Amino acid sequence: MRGRPVSHRARRRLPWLLLACILWLPAMAQAQPPAPPRVRLLATGGTISNRAGGRLTAAQLVELIPGLDRYVTPEYEQYSNLASSYLTLDQWVGLTRRINELFRTDPGLAGIVVTSGTDTLEELAYFLDLTVHSDKPVVVVGSMRNPSTLGYEGAANLLDAFRVAADPEARGKGVLVVLNDEINAARDVTKTDALRLETFQARGYGVLGYVDRDRVTFSRTVLQRHTAQSEFDGSTLTALPRVDVLWVYQGASGDLIKAAVDLGARGLVIAGAGAGATSGTQLDGIAYALEHGVVVVMTTRTGSGRIAPFRSPRAVPSRGPLAGLTPPEFDDFIAGEDLAPVKARILLMLALTKTHDPAVIQRMFEQY
């Protein structure tokens, strides 16, 4: 069957229509919105994955997030799938090496999200804060309820984490912890409640920002050294030395401190009472540790407050963490500043991969 013949007028219009299409198509291509930023999920496990009958994989976690494609182009990989307390220090080292490798080899990657169990989330986040050598966002996220529980908040937390990792304003702020619509600095945040959703708080410092319906907002930044400005390069890290935390309580024995030294601890963190007081025979144990070349850091068990360095050897103090120590020992005793004991342990482990000089380690505690 023959079609209708093309009129003379239509034939005259064809070249102009063709020219218009040639000119219009590039404009159409330019008008297409750019693809959302690429963000990669590194799943390690934790409550956020701990579904009854089997743990959710990285792929399944991404599938749970409604509307994710509006904000990011998601990627994912399964680093591990364990409760956070079962992750080893060697796995921490492997994780920071992997993150550094991704940023080094994939310049188009906007940011990284890491899932973690909440029990040790603050420790992992601070470790990454000190060892990831990039100013691109790394966001650590978890959930307080598991996927089989009514009110599971994991998908909402993951969506928030992806949005923060993709946001240009998150660059240069160090590793971030995102739960419950709040953005906290890895250095400052701690888990404050065993069960409540609002458990992660930065006592005395406040949140960095919020994840709201319309956008991500920041109200402050972090002044201490971290990530790209850190002297601890996770891409070259191979192992971490043993550092133990010893708690101060009434009538505590220094024998536990001596035992830690004898069992191979290269550093000790003392979670002191108040502004760093010890009890019982702990000072004898600390002196034993110092005599054996073990680095000792004093912190506070109170949850906030700063342990200031004691720099003057003119008099032996009668109170505080240095009470009873002789002047030559002052230079070997590290003040933990405002770091919580578990975070002071992480900084001390990394410091001991570089030096045993007390003055240098004290400088690190003042800067990080």
Q: How far apart are CA 287 and CA 282, in angstroms?
A: 9
Helix and strand counts by DSSP (H, E) for the chain: 9, 14
Which listed residue (44, 47, 227, 278) is catalytic? 47
Please confirm, yes or no, whether 281 is among the known catalytic residues. no
3-state SS, residue 162: helix
Q: How far apart are CA 42 and CA 128, in angstroms?
A: 13
Phi and psi, residue 129, nearest 5°: -60, -30
With left for phi above 0 and alpha for psi between -120 and 50, is residue 180 left, alpha or beta? left
Contact 228, 172 (CB under 8 A): yes
Contacts of 244 (CB under 8 A, 6+ apart): 260, 265, 267, 268, 269, 345
Cβ count near 107 (within 10 Å) = 7
For tokens 């899932």, the residue is: 115
Of the candidates 117, 126, 186, the residue with the CA atom closest to the CA atom of residue 157:
117
In Å, how far from its chain's centre is CA 204?
19
Task: Look up residue 235 and give its DSSP letter.
Answer: G
List, by residue number, the catalytic residues: 47
